[in-house]
Structure 1
Amino acid sequence: MIINKRDFYVKGINYTVRSAIDRDAKELSALRLQIDGETENLDREKGEAFIDIPGFEQIIKTDTEHSRNLFLVAVAHDRIVGFSRCEGIYLNRFSHKVEFGVCILKDFWGYRIGENLLKESVSWADANGIKKIALNVLETNDKAIKLYKKLGFEIEGVLKKDKILSDGKYYNTIIMGRFKE
């Protein structure tokens, strides 16, 4: 699905949130690799589950063509600094929901980019009859959990000792969802 682009100005920077397009694939491949190496909040370590340029081209094509998928990018200073995806499951019993994920370059944390990507995704979901948005978040990612709650998500469950981080300790994954009647 494609949305109209939106411009934001937060803490002295301008950025645009728009749908991903084919020519973003090269930049997205490099960006995802970089972001995976900047934080342990995501599922992957740097280099794991690498998506090359043709892989991103296919994801963008699929997400553009399917009404229950949405791939957004945030562009600041003429480069992509973050992205998010909503992906629907195409089984009838799950046709009411999508799963949401987001990645932002660490240098651009604190500019409400993740918040605005999520708000655009929620708006899109509400306008397209999607009743539930689901996501997973690492238990130590307090800022993200607070944001998700602020935007109507609630904790649905906990996957105990779900991830091993660089300190060798196990951490829980929080399952959250937002349901619109």
Structure 2
Amino acid sequence: MEKIKLTNYEDKYLDTVIDILMDAYQDIPEYGEANRKQAKRYIKWLKKHSTFFKILFYEDEPAAFIVGDGNWIDIEGKHVGEIHELSVKKKFWGKRLGDFLLNKVLQHFKELGLKKSGLWVGEKNKRAIDFYKKHGFQETGIKYYGWVRMEKNL
């Protein structure tokens, strides 16, 4: 996919990543950040809790990013590959950029020797839930304040 370029996150991309995040959650703001200041705090948290933080440029335009942590211990005390964030700007929906990024982070987790990947998704975010189900994630039945836990064996 010559239109796609993946870049490791660096602090110089902070505003770019915030732009993607704010755009991706415009239709479901209850799951995004309320403002740019909170988004900045969240991105800094993501940076500290990641082994895989990539920004995707589509035709040289920042389009999406993904953050995964191969050192995560889940709520049951298991070592899993945790997907903390996958955001795609709305204008790029339907171009399979999310598929591309998800496959990359899952490959990263497999290379680390992990056997399971997990994530939390907003229970009203049906588009994202369907996306993850399409990729083999299943709801675990665990819910937390409007968030649903999904997992996949690697």
Q: TM-score, normalised by structure 1?
A: 0.67
Note if contact 2:82-2:117 (Cα within 8 Å) is conserved in structure 1: yes
Matched, 1:177 2:151: yes
Note if contact 1:17-1:117 (Cα within 8 Å) is conserved in structure 2: no
* Secondary structure class of the residue paired with 1:111: coil
Q: TM-score, normalised by structure 2?
A: 0.76
1:39 counterpart (20, 27, 40): 27
Structure having the larger proportion of residues in helix: 2
Q: Residue type matched to 1:116 in 2?
A: F
Q: 1:175 to 1:90 in 2, by over 3 A?
A: closer
Structure 2's unaligned 5+ residue stretches are none
Shift in Å, 1:155: 1.3
Residues in 2 aligned to 1:77 and 1:150: alpha-carbon distance in whole angstroms? 26
Residues in 2 aligned to 1:18 and 1:42: alpha-carbon distance in whole angstroms? 28
Note if contact 2:54-2:66 (Cα within 8 Å) is conserved in structure 1: yes
Shift in Å, 1:75: 0.4
Residue number in structure 2 paired with 1:121: 105
Residue number in structure 2 paired with 1:23: 12
Q: Residue type matched to 1:179 in 2?
A: N
Q: 1:131 to 1:106 in 2, by over 3 A?
A: same
Note if contact 1:41-1:141 (Cα within 8 Å) is conserved in structure 2: no
* Secondary structure class of the residue paired with 1:129: coil
Residue number in structure 2 paired with 1:74: 56
Higher-Rg structure is: 1
Q: 1:131 to 1:94 in 2, by over 3 A?
A: farther
Note if contact 1:96-1:129 (Cα within 8 Å) is conserved in structure 2: no
Residue number in structure 1 paired with 2:87: 103
Q: Residue type matched to 2:14 in 1?
A: A
Q: Residue type matched to 1:72 in 2?
A: K
Matched, 1:144 2:128: yes
Structure 1's unaligned 5+ residue stretches are 1-7, 164-172
Q: 1:77 to 1:46 in 2, by over 3 A?
A: farther
* Secondary structure class of the residue paired with 2:143: strand
Percentage identity across aligned positions?
21
Q: 1:122 to 1:112 in 2, by over 3 A?
A: same
Note if contact 2:121-2:148 (Cα within 8 Å) is conserved in structure 1: yes
